[in-house]
Amino acid sequence: MPAKQSNIKIDAADFKSVARALTMVENDLKGSAELLKNLHFAKNAPVIGITGPPGAGKSTLVNDLLTRLTDKGNKVAVLAIDPTSPFNFGSLLGDRIRMAQHFNHPYVFIRSLATRGSLGGLSAKTIEMTDVLRAAGFDYIVVETVGVGQSEIEIAGLADITFVVLVPEGGDEIQSIKSGLMEIADAFIVNKADREGADIFANNLKKMVQQKGAEIPVFKTIASGNRGIDEIAAFIASAKISNTHKGLLLAEKAWKLIGQRRMADVSKTDLQNRINEAIADPDFNLYAFVEKL
């Protein structure tokens, strides 16, 4: 059953209704708070988080994955999170063209969202907009984010299944992968596996996973060649969503939402203007400035 709240119907069968609801929530338009408070989740659609460094081929991989999921009649929503420029607050990436073949697909809804200054890559708006998509009645929701800062860790507080996408060129990074990343990844994907050193990289990753005593699969894919995607789709279909950490994850979501509301009256543009004026004083002190605010 589609969700209905405050006379606003959100239905995966009507993409315009979904787009309107997302716009309301993203821009804090009138009625958005009431809409969120009345969301009803009739379908327990899993949220699939896909994160990794820029250039790992995530968008191409998501494009291939959409084909696999929709071939089985599933309706899929994609929320693509792009980092925001600290100067003009616009999205830094424009690689959604890689999913262009699905833009007009009747079973695929794609929406981009800038991080809005969240250094970890995810903002409170990501949580709210994901919940709108869950309430709309999609079968799967894919959240794709660039791995900058702490976004790999943060995605675990949002997603039911988290994939961390890496590339063979990141071989040196494998030794410095944080333990937190090991804890949040449900699976690793070594993309561009046709490149030199891919097998060694994947094997080292598997050894590291085993040393941690974790049962985390490592998949090898060539997204540009549409290879290895069937295994990813099969893993998603067979994955059992655990509620073990549900309280912890909900607390993380609540923390972000509370932080957003407490900062709601702080304008970054206004803050920058005030700082530009204040730094004319040779005795300017940032901490004294912040305390006055």
Q: What is the pLDDT of residue 124?
A: 78
Going along the chain from its start, the domains and CATH numbers come out as: 3-262 (3.40.50.300), 267-293 (no CATH)
Q: Does residue 176 surpass a pLDDT of 80?
A: no
Q: Bigger pLDDT: 157 or 89? A: 157
Give the pLDDT band of residue 279 (cuts 50, 70, 90): very high
Q: Which two tokens stand for residue 59?
A: 């968008």
Given a cut of 60, whether residue 120 has pLDDT beyond it is: no
| CB-based contacts of 114, cutoff 8 Å, min separation 6 | 81, 82, 83, 84, 89, 90, 91
217 by DSSP, 3-state: which?
A: coil
Q: In what order do the strands lie in the sheet with 108-114?
A: 108-114, 76-82, 140-146, 47-52, 161-166, 187-190, 218-220
Closest of 233, 161, 228 to residue 198, by C-alpha: 228
> How does pLDDT run across 207-217, given as a tens digit for each residue?
888 877 778 89
Pairwise CA distance, residues 195 & 125, whole Å: 37
Report whether pLDDT(119) > 50.
no
Q: What pTM was estimated for this model as a whole?
A: 0.81
pLDDT in tens, 203-258: 988 888 887 777 889 999 999 899 999 999 999 999 877 665 567 667 777 887 88
Identity of residue 269: T
Counting residues of the chain whose pLDDT is more than 90, the rounded percentage is 39
